[in-house]
Amino acid sequence: MISPIGWIIIWIGILFNLLGTIGLVRFPDIYNRLQTSTKCVTLGSFGLMIGIFLLFGFNQTGIKALICGAFLLLTNPVGAHAILKGSLHYGIKLWKGSVVDKYGEDKLGGEQIEIEERAKEGEEKAKDG
């Protein structure tokens, strides 16, 4: 009786993984990519491990799957946060559509947002004219 529920949860996890990696390809910026891929892949992996636990019960494989899911749930956001802080200190600018950057204002001396190219061209034309 528990078996179809386990397979359905495993499929939900796999589809979350697929959507997260599609977001990794399609989003415009390192920070947006980090956000979508890490959230979706963490939830997808945890769902897959929970599905395996429901399939096997309190067994050798099931308990190990539960431990692996808990480990992924703890460590994956920590790694994403470390990469985000590292890329801010490395000097990668935010996407040009971003609104606010409080961390850059506090620690790095000014917002780290890309300037839109059209605005730059307009300023140059205004200077020439």
Q: How far is the CB of 5 from other proteins (least distance, A)?
A: 15
Tokens 């390809």 -> residue: 25
For residue 30, state whether it binds other proteins (rule: CB under 8 A): yes
Interface of this chain with other proteins, residues 63 to 102, rule: CB under 8 A: 64-65, 67-68, 71-72, 75-76, 78-80, 82-83, 85-87, 89-90, 92
Q: How far is the CB of 106 from other proteins (least distance, A)?
A: 16
- The residues with which 113 forms a beta bridge, in sequence order, are 94
Here the tokens at position 105 are 């204002």
d(CA 93, CA 75): 26
* Element (DSSP H or E) covering residue 30: helix 30-56
Contact status, residue 55 vs residue 6, Cβ threshold 8 Å = yes
Here the tokens at position 66 are 């539960």
Here the tokens at position 123 are 């300023």
Q: How far is the CB of 110 from other proteins (least distance, A)?
A: 19
Single residue of 9, 13, 54, 94 touching other proteins by CB under 8 A: 13
Angle, helices 2-26 vs 30-56, to 10°: value is 170
Residues that bind other proteins in the complex, under the rule CB under 8 A:
10-11, 13-15, 17-18, 20-22, 24-25, 30, 33-34, 37-38, 41-42, 44-45, 48-49, 52, 55-56, 60-61, 64-65, 67-68, 71-72, 75-76, 78-80, 82-83, 85-87, 89-90, 92
